[in-house]
Structure 1
């Protein structure tokens, strides 16, 4: 008890020290990090309708995350950026490949949320998903747009429960920035951001190298002791050129991480090499915008699982290879005139599995060669999937532009199953400058992955089935926004989702569509205030509060009872202080049933938890040409767990303990 009290006292002392630094850090340049409330409400976004529109008149619920907010909060990964949003759960996994759930909708491997980087879909064809941590570097970011709700009416499959769209800067930075960071758990990073403005364009380059041993996992998935850590090593680069009406970019990423899922004397390192590129051309006429884009997204992954006996002798080894290619092209035309905004577009995609196999090379000390997992599409081990689509949208401007109905429809053609039709209807009504009401209804789908359709396993565990159909969802949403005055804004939303054709495997049987529907519903509350006040030598404070109330009949989300999560975010001129509440979840009937240790099998970790984070920028201390960043995450070292985990039959994943880091940024 004395040790715990001492640790709390030390934590409070560290908080005091960091706040003291924040006091010294404030100066006239601190407004760089602030976003005015007026600017936030009327910021121009494009993801919701594929046309430029203010956030207020967007037909979908959309969150805008600026580069200023990312920098001020000390955000390094997409997981961190999304964790501040309402209706969002970040499911920490033991291998650094987090899962994102919107509004209680399970999304294994993030297959139900579409991720775009400069319009390029980050979707690996075998598993059908992506990862929000080391797989998506946040280099040269201008802003991020996040839609919680159906997006298939414009984006097709995988925009099932939402969409995340990352936009990089088109202009070169005013100064070259070099940032060096060091932190606990042997964490180091080096980041570069530079560029050059041309007569009719710009050249931009950014890159990062990151290395950490990560925190030690206390238990493996069966509740046994483990010596695994969340170690990561990665390096990435981003190159972009803008010239007249053309844009082109290339992204490369190479990262390696241990899969800390197993007990002692087991390892499973995984190595990823990712490449993406796109070329875009845009023509702007009097009332017509015409955009054409081609792109590719490629993933090369290798894993090597090994097991040793008590004497240190290797008795099991298996390797896994994955090599996939995604190619696509899209063309869309936008006409704005006569009180309407019409969009027409075409898209085509081809996904190719060049190689996929899991091979057992050593079993019970004996050399062997067993194909544990392979894809088989009518004898083809390298299947190719093609998709063609056409989409249309019409946004009307009525009652002096205050009433805006939007009608969207997309037709997707796949060779493996019937064509999909995805409609969406949105309505926005603005009453004066204060009230805004939105209503949205839409359908979306998620096509089965190659793994779910064509996998063949030697152990018979969850093989693929070519008979499965796409998952379906019907979403309803109501949003009321009230601008109290120039400094205060409040939103309350109600949502309801009905999921059908849910793809699942029960007791290692082949994948199949469920016969029963599932649902999730709830409320989101957001409050933003820009306050003029003198505190900590800062003239401004931005307060953000969001809370989500969720009810679902999905066991891994919140059976029977309800869940509440919330964030209170204090944004001063030079620092942020966040209070994060993770709501309690009920246990399902299968909770901890696969845990071998009886003591840990009986433990219920699905309580509510509160954590505190602080990030401070000290600008030009002692008139030196540097900026210093101090970060403290989980300040009081709360031991907390994933609020949900699928499947929850395994032992819960421990979230990261207290973490401190210091960064030095030099600009020239």
Structure 2
């Protein structure tokens, strides 16, 4: 019997969303991964999970700020995708990124929903290339199994992690909390560093170093979700500290040099249905900061003056940002076959604290001198207000055909993005064949790093930046083979305008690149027998990049044309399973003018053994990653680290989970 799409979508938004039944009917290109399945695979954190998504690759920079790249769209920019944790947007203000959450342990995650494409808009939030919804175990339904648990992990690089998940429930009140602490002592081979390419001038080329980049991690996170009738509180205290990696100024740092990236939020919500109306009101405050303490340059560095820094150049840089936001949305279903949504989201972003301390630039004394007022690294008066207005109609034309159409309109203190329409069609030919067609326009506002950075040799801000813009055309076909198996294919064409770039030779951020990107993605999930699970995807991405100020076109730089990923789980019994993850990332062209060879393709293979003791309700998992110790490198910009950013080789992980 053919169920109506409207009832499927309503079901999806409630209990069915917990069991991954109906994402295929949504007007997006979406992939869903269950936390428990990822645990079986030995996946350690959110970053490793996102590496399985079709069309998603990873990139990094000199801070080792790793970011997912969706469909090859501007690998040098953050903020092209948005991360939501339990429906709270957590991208930071400073970078408009979320790399401090990529280490979020998979045991804290119930489900990951990844939407590719700018059509992924959530209550006034513009996602340029995609969005990631992380659902924790705060999502709890009556009669579902209890998910309270303790977690302990140990692995390579002296990695240690401990945490818990706990739910409290009564008739009208639900309280959820999770907590974890993790640390490691990871170091990765790197060099020669950027000084070898003249990053601090030709006179300092002999000071270039090769050695171990400190990419260690110390992190803890405490989450709290409270639901009382129609009211909710969502809060998280997230403290992330990492090594300074490849150096603030591209000089290999000391082991103890670090960057702190705290990210806190508190959101109050009210959600009420009154007859044909549903009201959703939210108000929140977020705080995040960039807090760096590092040796910027080695002993005997000579800088402008010229000044000799016989003991090196040291710094402490701090910028704290506060965001206030409020949104109100009203949905009306009283009109036959229509669900109309309208509302707004307002945000106020402001730098509330900034300090800039450096070794004395005049004398070369390594003792820190306060340059907060005379030589700030960041604009201490940075602030921006943004208003987004949205209108959308979900039109259920028939049981087999539905449309969603609407728009977002945004303007902020500096720029107006204007009207951004979106139209989507979902056609269910029968219960096993689903077709989608989507057009959407969206944008990415310049991040604060791109706008407000000052007095920095590697980054120069520009307040006159226009938003990056994209028009996306997508087609999809889904063949449902059974309740749990499907084949999904989709094709896309993306027209990107005014993308923001900077280079080592010209560190000022500018709107200098237009790109046309096209490709397709294939995705299969199913079974070969009653005892296994199979997941395979393949992505092809290609296109052209046009550099406007040079009137020059080239192929897409830093983008793998071919991505292939998959996993296999074999359940020997209900308690014992063996699994493997295979990934292939194709070669990547360099940016125009970079004479280095292509970034080489690589393949990796991981394996995991998982055992569950039903009597005492604990699970023990052992995983071995990158079994054949393949060389994995992320591309570096020209005139920085000439040998790119090499990632970890073979490593292992042991995880113990005890449920209550």
* TM-score normalized with structure 2 length: 0.83
Distance in 2 between residues matched to 1:362 and 1:572, nearest whole Å: 62
Compute the displacement of 1:456 (Å).
Answer: 3.2
Q: How does 1:206-221 map to 2 (within 5 A)?
A: 206-221=178-193
Give CA deviations for 1:328-373 in whole Å, capped at 9, x if unaligned: 1111122235112211122111111112344323453355444554
Residue 602 of structure 2 is matched in structure 1 by 609
1:584 and 1:186 map into 2 onto residues whose CA distance is 32
Task: State how far apart, in whole Å, the 1-side matches of 2:183 and 2:482 are.
Answer: 46
Name the CA shift for 1:205/1:114 in 2 (closer, same or farther; >3 Å).
same
**What residue number does 1:164 align with?**
132
- Among 154, 176, 197, the residue aligned to 1:204: 176
Shift of residue 125 of structure 1? 2.2
- What SS does the corresponding residue of 2:322 show, helix, strand or coil? strand
For the pair 1:548 / 2:539, whether they are aligned, the reply is: yes
Secondary structure of residue in 2 paired with 1:615? strand
1:140 positional shift: 4.2
The answer to whether the 8 A contact 1:93-1:99 is kept is no
Distance 1:68 1:153, change over 3 A: closer
Corresponding residue to 1:620 among 613, 626, 640: 613
CA–CA distance in 1 between the matches of 2:451 and 2:606?
43
CA apart distance, 1:121 = 1.9
Contact 2:42 2:653 in 1 (8 A): no
The change in CA–CA distance for 1:567 and 1:270 in structure 2 (over 3 A counts) is same
Q: Which moved more, 1:550-559 or 1:441-450?
A: 550-559
Distance, in Å, in 2 between the alignment partners of 1:457 and 1:204 is 45
Gaps of 5+ in 2: 1-7, 197-208, 302-308, 546-552, 572-576
Query: Relative to structure 1, is the Cα distance of residues 247 and 154 closer, same or farther in structure 2, using a 3 angstrom cutoff?
Result: closer
Provide, for residues 220-263 of structure 1, a one-character-per-residue CA deviation record: whole Å limited to 9, x for no partner: 54485213332111111112222212221221111221112045
SS at match of 1:577: strand
Compared CA separation, residues 653 and 415, structure 1 to 2 (3 A): same
- State the distance in 2 between where 1:167 and 1:135 align: 15
Match status 1:294 vs 2:283? yes
Q: Which residue of structure 2 aligns with residue 653 of structure 1?
A: 645
After superposition, the C-alpha distances for 1:404-445 in whole angstroms (9 at most, x for unaligned) are 121021111212123521111111111111221111111111
Q: Deviations over 1:458-477 (max 9, x none)?
A: 75x65333322211111111
Distance in 2 (alpha carbons) for counterparts of 1:366 and 1:103? 45
Question: Is 1:152–1:445's contact at 8 Å kept on the other side of the alignment?
Answer: no
* Aligned counterpart, 2:33: 65
Distance 1:551 1:625 in 2: 48
**Alignment partner, residue 233 of structure 1:** 218
Q: Secondary structure at the match of 1:174?
A: coil
Q: Are residues 347 and 336 of structure 1, via their aligned partners in 2, closer, same or farther at CA, if it must alter by over 3 Å?
A: same
Query: Aligned in 2, Cα 1:199/1:133: closer, same or farther, shift over 3 Å?
Result: closer
Distance in 2, matches of 1:431 and 1:345, equals 33
Q: Contact 2:444–2:467 (CA<8 Å) still a contact in 1? A: yes
User: Could you say which residue in structure 2 is the equivalent of 1:322?
Assistant: 319
Residue of structure 2 equivalent to 1:365: 365
Counterpart Cα distance in 2 of 1:627 and 1:468: 51
- The alpha-carbon distance between structure 1 residues 166 and 633, as it changes in their structure 2 partners (threshold 3 A), is same
Q: How far apart are the structure 2 equivalents of 1:612 and 1:140?
A: 24
- Range with greater deviation from structure 2 (152-161 or 177-186): 152-161
CA contact (8 A) 1:145 1:166 kept: yes
Alpha-carbon distance, 1:64 to partner: 1.6
The yes-or-no answer on 1:662 pairing with 2:654 is yes
Corresponding position of 1:587: 590
Distance change (3 Å), C-alpha of 1:648 and 1:550? farther
Q: Note the alpha carbon deviations across 1:94-145, whole angstroms, 9 max, x for none.
A: 6442111100002545211122222322232233322164575657433222
Q: TM-score when scaled to structure 1?
A: 0.82
Q: Tell me, yes or no, if the aligned pair for 2:214 and 2:254 is still in contact at 8 Å.
A: no
Aligned partner (choices 408, 412, 415) of residue 414 of structure 1: 412
Which shifted more, 575-584 or 148-157? 148-157
Q: Could you tell me which residue of structure 2 aligns to residue 424 of structure 1? A: 422
> How much is the aligned-residue C-alpha RMSD, in angstroms?
3.2
Partner of 1:180: 152
Range with greater deviation from structure 2 (336-345 or 167-176): 167-176
- Indicate if the aligned counterparts of 1:248 and 1:280 stay in contact, CA closer than 8 A: yes
Aligned residue in 2 for 1:403? 401
Equivalence for 1:442? 440
Residue in 2 aligned with 1:491? 488
User: Pick from 558, 576, 579: which aligns with 1:576?
Assistant: 579
User: In structure 2, which of residues 258, 263, 275 is the aligned counterpart of residue 274 of structure 1?
Assistant: 263
Secondary structure of the residue aligned to 2:260 is: strand
Deviates more, 1:238-247 or 1:126-135: 126-135
Q: What SS does structure 2 have at the residue aligned with 1:115? A: strand
Query: Helix, strand or coil: the match of 1:104?
Result: coil
- Counterpart contact for 1:492–1:525, Cα < 8 Å: yes
Aligned-partner SS, 1:185: coil
Q: Which residue of 1 aligns with 2:299?
A: 309
Closer, same or farther in 2 for the Cα pair 1:530/1:286, shift >3 Å?
Answer: farther
Secondary structure of the equivalent of 2:390?
Answer: strand
**1:596 paired residue number:** none
Q: CA deviation at 1:215?
A: 4.0
Equivalent position SS for 1:438: strand
Aligned equivalent of 1:75: 43
Q: Distance in 1 between matches of 2:265 and 2:154?
A: 29
Maintained 8 Å contact 2:359/2:365: no
Q: Note if contact 1:605-1:652 (Cα within 8 Å) is conserved in structure 2.
A: no
How far does the alpha carbon of each residue in 1:2-30 deviate from its partner, in whole angstroms, 9 at most, with x for none? xxxxxxxxxxxxxxxxxxxxxxxxxxxxx
Residues 139, 238 of structure 1: 8 Å contact kept: no
